[in-house]
C-alpha cells in the first residue's frame, strides 16, 4: 500500500473506509476520527454510484479547502466501503502563479452540474454556478469558447472568460482574464491574450484529465498495486506527449494570428522552449529528472531556428540532472538569453557565434551556466523593464540562483543555479 501511494502529489491523501464510514487506512499522518457519513462523496458511492467527484469542501481534519475523489468497493454484490483521495484545492497553485495574465484573473475547475471544485485564487466559499450564463447558455451551444462576463458570480469582477469541457471527465476548465486590465494598454492586444487564455485552458484540460485518471488508477488492492504503478507511468508519458502536441497546435494558431506583429518571434520562441521540456521528458521516460545538457542544446537550437538566424554555436555542456519542476524555468532562461544575443549582439547580420557552457559551480550543489557572444555587446540596463528581463529574473529566482552580465569582447551571461 505504501509503495502504491508514493506516487501521489504532495498534499494529496488517500483513505480506505468501511461501509459505516470508519477509516481503515490513510496516508495522512495526522488522521483523526471524523464523521463522513453525511458527506456527498460517501453517500453517493454508498447509494450506488461507482465513482464520485465532490465540489469544493472544507476539510474536517484541518480546515483546508479540498475536493475528494471516491470509488465504491463491492464484494459479492455488497457495499463494503470506499477508496477516497483528498486533493487540496491549491494543488495547481504553483502552475498558475507562473502564468500571470495580469490584473484580477482567475482559473477554475467546475463540475458539470455547476458546483465549483477548485479555483485560483482560493475562494472564500464554494459556489453553485448551475444558474450562471456559462451553464444556461454557452455550454449548451458549444463545449468550448469565449465570452465577456459583465459580472463574475464569485467576486463581481468583469472578465473575459475562456472555457472548455474536459472530454471524458466531469470537469469544465475555466480561465478568466481581467477585462479592465486587458483594454488598458491597447484594445488590439485582446486577441493575443485570448490565445494565451486558450493555452492555459489546454494545459488545464490536460491537468484535469491527468488528475482524474491518476486517482482512478490507484487501486487499493494488494494484487493490483504493481500493475497500477506501471499504468501511471504510461499515462505520464502520454500526457507529456499530448502537452507537446497541444503547444505545437498553439504555435500554429499564434503563427496564423500574429505573424509579422511585434512580439511574435519572442512568444514563438518561448512556447518552443516549453515544448522542448515536455519532449525531453516523454522521450526519455524521465518524470523526476532530465538531462540539463540535452535540454539546453534543444532550446538553443530552437531559439536560433525561430529567429531564422545562422549562428555557429560551441557547446561545452556537462551532463547534469535537472528536476522536472525546474526544467521549464531553465528552458525559459536559456531561451531569453540566447534571444537577446541574436537580437542585440550582431545588429548588422543574422550570422554570429555563441558559446554555451554548463559546468559544476564552485558552490556545492549548484551549476554554472554561461552564454557568451562575440558581438557588439548587450546593454542589460537598456531593457531592464522588458518582459524578457522579467522572465530572466523570475527564472533565476525559481532556480534559487544569481546571475550577471559582463562585457568581454562581446557579452557574457553567467548564472549560478540549483537544478535539483
Q: Contact, 233 vs 217, CB < 8 A?
A: no
Q: How many CB atoms lie within 10 A of CB 370?
A: 15
* Fold for the domain defined by 93-192: Beta-Lactamase (3.30.450)
* CB within 8 Å of 92: residues ≥ 6 apart: 107, 118, 120, 204, 207
Rounded-to-integer distance, Cα 175 and Cα 162, Å: 5
Q: Within its chain, how far is the Cα of 105 from the centroid?
A: 16
Q: Contact, 160 vs 176, CB < 8 A?
A: yes
Q: CA angle at residue 210 from 209 to 213, to 5 degrees?
A: 85
Q: CA angle at residue 394 from 11 to 259, to 5 degrees?
A: 110
* CB within 8 Å of 126: residues ≥ 6 apart: 55, 56, 57, 115, 116
pLDDT tens across the length of the chain (420 residues): 455 556 667 778 899 999 999 998 888 888 888 899 999 999 999 999 999 999 989 888 888 889 999 999 999 999 999 999 998 887 777 766 766 667 778 888 899 999 988 888 888 788 898 999 999 999 999 999 999 888 888 788 888 899 999 888 888 989 888 887 777 765 565 566 677 777 778 777 887 777 777 777 565 564 565 565 565 555 555 555 555 555 555 555 555 555 555 555 666 666 666 666 666 665 655 556 889 999 899 889 988 887 788 889 999 999 999 987 888 889 889 988 998 888 888 877 778 899 999 999 999 999 999 999 988 866 655 555 566 788 889 889 999 999 999 887 789 999 999 998
What is the bridge-based pairing of β-strands 23-26 and 65-75?
unpaired
159's enclosing H/E stretch is: strand 159-165
Rounded-to-integer distance, Cα 174 and Cα 165, Å: 9
Nearest to 377 by CA among 332, 334, 412: 412
What does pTM read for this prediction? 0.42
Cell of 219: 487501486
Look up cell 551571461; give the residue.
413
Nearest to 356 by CA among 275, 299, 418, 284: 299
Is there a cis peptide before residue 121, judged by omega within 30 degrees of 0? yes
Rounded-to-integer distance, Cα 185 and Cα 142, Å: 31
pLDDT for 257: 55
Residues in the chain: 420
Q: List, by residue range, all CATH 3.30.450.20 domains of the chain.
A: 2-88, 93-192
pLDDT for 329: 87
> Which option is the CATH number for 2-88: 3.90.230.10, 3.40.50.920, 3.30.450.20, 3.20.20.70?
3.30.450.20
Distances (CA, A) of 320 to 49, 279, 415, 420: 48, 17, 15, 9
Q: List, by residue range, all CATH 3.30.565.10 domains of the chain.
A: 281-417
pLDDT for 139: 92
pLDDT for 16: 93
> Which option is the CATH number for 281-417: 3.30.70.120, 3.30.365.10, 3.30.565.10, 3.40.30.10?
3.30.565.10
Q: Within its chain, how far is the Cα of 118 from the centroid?
A: 15
Residue 343 DSSP one-character state: I
Cell of 419: 537544478
Rounded-to-integer distance, Cα 372 and Cα 192, Å: 32
What is the bridge-based pairing of β-strands 351-360 and 310-317?
parallel
Amino acid at each position: 500500500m505504501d509503495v502504491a501511494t508514493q506516487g501521489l502529489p504532495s498534499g494529496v491523501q488517500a483513505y480506505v473506509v468501511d461501509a459505516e464510514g470508519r477509516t481503515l487506512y490513510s496516508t495522512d499522518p495526522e488522521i483523526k476520527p471524523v464523521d463522513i457519513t453525511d458527506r456527498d462523496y460517501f453517500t453517493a458511492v454508498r447509494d450506488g454510484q461507482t465513482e464520485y467527484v465532490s465540489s469544493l469542501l472544507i476539510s474536517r481534519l484541518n480546515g483546508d479547502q479540498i475536493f475528494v475523489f471516491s470509488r465504491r468497493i463491492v464484494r459479492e454484490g455488497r457495499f463494503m466501503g470506499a477508496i477516497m483521495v483528498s486533493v487540496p484545492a491549491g494543488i495547481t497553485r504553483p502552475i498558475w502563479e507562473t502564468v500571470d495574465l495580469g490584473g484580477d484573473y482567475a482559473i477554475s475547475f467546475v463540475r458539470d452540474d455547476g458546483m465549483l471544485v477548485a479555483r485560483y485564487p482560493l475562494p472564500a466559499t464554494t459556489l453553485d454556478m448551475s444558474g450562471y450564463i456559462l451553464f444556461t447558455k454557452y455550454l449548451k451551444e458549444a463545449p468550448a469558447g469565449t465570452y465577456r462576463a459583465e459580472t463574475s458570480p464569485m467576486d463581481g469582477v468583469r472578465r473575459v472568460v475562456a472555457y472548455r469541457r474536459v472530454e471524458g471527465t466531469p470537469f469544465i476548465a475555466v480561465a478568466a482574464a481581467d477585462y479592465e486590465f486587458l483594454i488598458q494598454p491597447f484594445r488590439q492586444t485582446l486577441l493575443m491574450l485570448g490565445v494565451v487564455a486558450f493555452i492555459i485552458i489546454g494545459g488545464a484540460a490536460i491537468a484535469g484529465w491527468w488528475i482524474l485518471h491518476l486517482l482512478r488508477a490507484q487501486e487499493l488492492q494488494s494484487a493490483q498495486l504493481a500493475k497500477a504503478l506501471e499504468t501511471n507511468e504510461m499515462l505520464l508519458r502520454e500526457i507529456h506527449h499530448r502537452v507537446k502536441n497541444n503547444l505545437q497546435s498553439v504555435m500554429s494558431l499564434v503563427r496564423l494570428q500574429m505573424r509579422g506583429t511585434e512580439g511574435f518571434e519572442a512568444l514563438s520562441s518561448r512556447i518552443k522552449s516549453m515544448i522542448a521540456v515536455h519532449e525531453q521528458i516523454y522521450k526519455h521516460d524521465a518524470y523526476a529528472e532530465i538531462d540539463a545538457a540535452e535540454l539546453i542544446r534543444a532550446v538553443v537550437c530552437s531559439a536560433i531556428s525561430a529567429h531564422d538566424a545562422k549562428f555557429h554555436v560551441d557547446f561545452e555542456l556537462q551532463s547534469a540532472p535537472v528536476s522536472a519542476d525546474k526544467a521549464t524555468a531553465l528552458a525559459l532562461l536559456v531561451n531569453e538569453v540566447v534571444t537577446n544575443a541574436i537580437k542585440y549582439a550582431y545588429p548588422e547580420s543574422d550570422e554570429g557565434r555563441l558559446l554555451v557552457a554548463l559546468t559544476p559551480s564552485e558552490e556545492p550543489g549548484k551549476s554554472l551556466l554561461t552564454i557568451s557572444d562575440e558581438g557588439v555587446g548587450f546593454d542589460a540596463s537598456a531593457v531592464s523593464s522588458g518582459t524578457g528581463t522579467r522572465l530572466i529574473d523570475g527564472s533565476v529566482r525559481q532556480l534559487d540562483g544569481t546571475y550577471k552580465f559582463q562585457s568581454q569582447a562581446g557579452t557574457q551571461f553567467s548564472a549560478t543555479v540549483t537544478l535539483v
